A and B are shown apart, each in its own frame.
Chain A
Amino acid sequence: MFYGSGVLRGMLVTLKNMIQSYFCKPEDGGLFTSQYPEKRLPEKERFRNFPFLIYDKEPENLRCVACDICAKECPPKCIYIIRDFDTDGKPLKKPKIFDIDLTVCMNCGICEEACPFDAIYMDHEFEISGRERQGSLLYHKDDLLKSNEHFHKIRPTDAAAIDTRRQEDEAKKQAVKKEPPKPPSTAS
């Protein structure tokens, strides 16, 4: 109505917000800042940050077979794998070197999708800092290795689904072994 009414109505809004911030709960207009270091917000299950390699029970038998698919699929090319050879030069199904450069990785999660052996998954670890550019942020194999239990802890539903699927594959493979061996099956 009169000249200054718009300004006054606007100011009433900020006043209401100020009063609300003292009395209302965070959902309907209250104060929603959470004091980060002391109180942390619950993490979403599908939250994805830097990848990590899974091993069952001990760090030796990790699932990764150094097939290099994720290195090829990774858009910014931040994965570097060298296959492990045993004493007389026969290639092993284990990576000797598996580096991920965290300064290059953009957490897109494509390596997780592309890996046929459920070896690499996205972690919830985001409080990572390094003092120099190349040094500590270039994660080697042992920094990346994390147990299956950790996987269950951070992503319960996905971990459970994957484990059941692996049990079924295991069972199917056992079943195939009990029957007469078929000609060597094509690449799984």
Chain B
Amino acid sequence: MEKTVTLQDSGAIDTQTLDINIGPQHPSTHGVFRMNMKLDGETVVSLKPVMGYLHRNHEQIAENMFYLGSMPYTDRLDYFNSMTNNFVYALTVEKLAQIEVPERADYIRVIMSELTRLVNHVSVTGFLLNDLGAFFTPVLYAFRERERILDIFEEVSGARMMCNYFRFGGVKYDLSGEALVAIKDVVSRFPKFLDEYEKLLTKNEILCMRCQNVGILSPELAISASITGPMLRASGVNYDIRKVDNYSIYDRFKFRVPLGKVGDVYDRYYVRILEMRESLKILEQALKEIPAGEIMAKKMAPFVKAPRNFKPPLGESYARVEAPKGELGIYIVSDGTPQPWRYHVRAPSFINLTILEDLCVGHKVADAVVILGSVDIVLGEVDR
């Protein structure tokens, strides 16, 4: 934790505002992100987030790359859930080029994105506890379940985190028999783990003391700052893109959207736990109804072997997906050539981060770190 401290020394004991910046090294495990804080004693007076340390020029590269070439780059956007990033890129291009996705591919896509939602929410609650000071135990319980799901991703797509599994018009490999069995096994074991996880955390007095009524986000501020995802739903606003857009085949599944009431750190934590239970419901239904059939649209067959001469028609398209962190969208303008003319990613973490100051002012230093943990950002997506 790099500390550059400038002490405004005004002599009198009580007016000493301390200018700290919780530096880019490790503001408690959230990547390279700096918070410039002015402290009066323990309470935060002002907070300026400083980002851009992990900017890799993803959008410019995508404009000089074939369409399929930037699919592996989308894995690196929010490196915690690469499947949902691929999903949104595939959806945008399919909307652009009017490609019909076969049934089985759609089911596989839904299963994969719900599995990433489990991985993300379980790790985020773990890291939140880590910011609170629990010495890595919740994180390691979360990682035990995450390992099982990452093994499935490896078996299905070839890589644990950088899956590069979706293709325009379907998916790259088919879901083999024992992969399906492994997924059923994970999904059946997850609720038992979740109950134990909740027994460890939800009623824990210290967690309640540290999280309740801390960093309260009012629904009006959330809507005006276009916050999306669990943060928005924790403040009580009912907006889940799976229900609003009904993209892909989400309308076939019966699931509910949990909403909080107060909108503080505790609500954000608990809404994520409830969302995990809903995802499990979707997974069970999807695993039951998955049909046989081929996994790649007929229209895209010639481009499987020659991705470079895939030229979507002229035009623009924007598709969005309920990523675990919020509304993740990709906007593409194509000029008929195999390279997109304009490529832009709407990153939920970046937008959820803009209100960090309003949440943190007035709280203590310890709370600022916890609020940052509850906002759940991944720097790959914030800086792109």
The answer to whether any beta carbons of A and B sit under 8 Å apart in the complex is yes
- Known A44-B155, A47-B159, A106-B72; judge A114-B204 contact (CB<8 A): no
Q: Is the interface of B mostly helix, strand, loop or mixed?
A: helix
B157 with A46: CB separation less than 8 A: yes
Question: Which parts of A36-76 form the interface with B (CB within 8 Å)?
Answer: 44, 46-48, 69, 72-73, 75
Q: Does B196 contact A (CB under 8 A)?
A: yes
* Residues of chain B within 8 A of A9, CB atoms compared: 199-200, 203
Indicate with 1 or 0, residue by residue over B157-186, a CB within 8 angstroms of chain A CB atoms.
111001010000000110000000000000
Q: Does B50 contact A (CB under 8 A)?
A: no
* Residues of chain A within 8 A of B204, CB atoms compared: 6-7, 10
B164 with A108: CB separation less than 8 A: yes
- Known A46-B158, A48-B159, A75-B65; judge A108-B72 contact (CB<8 A): yes
Q: How far is the CA of A12 from the CA of B306 in the complex (A)?
A: 58
B158 with A109: CB separation less than 8 A: yes
Chain B interface, number of residues (Cβ within 8 angstroms): 39
Q: Does B69 contact A (CB under 8 A)?
A: yes
Q: Does B156 contact A (CB under 8 A)?
A: yes
> How far does the Cβ of B266 sit from chain A's closest Cβ, in whole Å?
12
Q: Does B255 contact A (CB under 8 A)?
A: no
The residue in chain B whose Cβ has the minimal distance to the Cβ of A32 is B144
B305 with A13: CB separation less than 8 A: no
A72 with B154: CB separation less than 8 A: no
- Known A75-B65, A109-B164, A114-B306; judge A13-B205 contact (CB<8 A): no
Q: Does B249 contact A (CB under 8 A)?
A: no
Q: Does A17 contact B (CB under 8 A)?
A: yes
- Known A6-B205, A113-B307; judge A13-B196 contact (CB<8 A): yes
CB pairs A–B below 8 angstroms (11 shown): A6-B203, A6-B208, A7-B206, A9-B199, A10-B199, A13-B200, A16-B196, A46-B155, A73-B68, A75-B73, A109-B158
- Closest 9 A-B residue pairs measured CB to CB? A6-B203, A108-B72, A75-B69, A13-B200, A48-B158, A46-B158, A10-B200, A6-B204, A44-B155
In addition to A9-B200, A44-B158, 17 A-B residue pairs with Cβ atoms within 8 Å of each other are A6-B208, A9-B199, A10-B203, A13-B196, A16-B196, A17-B141, A46-B155, A46-B156, A46-B157, A47-B158, A47-B159, A73-B68, A75-B72, A108-B72, A113-B305, A114-B305, A114-B307
Using CB atoms and an 8 Å cutoff, list the residues of chain B in contact with chain A.
Answer: 65-66, 68-73, 137, 141, 144, 147, 151, 154-159, 162, 164, 172-173, 196, 199-208, 304-308
